[in-house]
Amino acid sequence: MEVARKLVLDEAIEWPSADISFVWDSQADASFVATMHFSRVIGLPERDLKLNFGRPLAVSWEDEYFDHIPCPSPIPRCALPRLDHYAYPIIWVEGSAWADRYAASLYTEEEFQSHPVRHYLLVAMNDILHVLAKQPPVATWVPSVDA
């Protein structure tokens, strides 16, 4: 059974992200970096969060609808009272069917039982990003460039 859980990378995050942008640097030590644009939400701090996933296994971007890759329900919500109707922006999907399907193609039956593949779900007001990776992202706050 799939369950959406908050991935708490910083206790201060209790608000939604307006948008997500991402860059895949394809090179010897490639990395996939997604930026959560919190600064584009009126009244929030003018900083954004970069999430470095290193070399993810798979990535899928969608326009603000939960449908291409099924998402569990309910999705955790933000805690700030004026923004509590928005989805929490950084989620990991426990028991993800997508992660299990992918892991089944990589690991033996025995290895599969403890496979490290995790499904991360980044949710913004305008888009959604699914990432399969073997380790959680490394988070870094950066100044906004366009708030």
> What are 90-110's pLDDT values in tens digits?
999 999 999 999 999 999 999
- pLDDT value at residue 67: 67
- pLDDT value at residue 3: 98
pLDDT digits 0-9 by tens, 108-139: 999 999 999 999 999 999 999 999 999 999 99
Contact 96, 5 (CB under 8 A): no
Band the pLDDT of 145: cuts 50, 70, 90. confident
Per-domain residue ranges of the chain: 3-143
- pLDDT value at residue 15: 92
Instruction: Please state the pTM of the whole predicted model.
Output: 0.93
- pLDDT value at residue 147: 53
pLDDT digits 0-9 by tens, 34-92: 999 999 999 888 999 999 999 999 999 998 766 678 889 999 999 989 999 999 999 99
How far is the first Cα of the chain from the last one, in angstroms, to the nearest whole number?
39
- pLDDT value at residue 11: 81
Query: Tokens at residue 77, please?
Result: 């919500």
- pLDDT value at residue 63: 86
What does the buried/exposed string (b/e) look like for 46-72 if buried means 16 or more CB atoms within 10 Å of the residue's CB? eebbbbebeebbebeeeeeeeeebebb
Residue with tokens 């928005």: 86
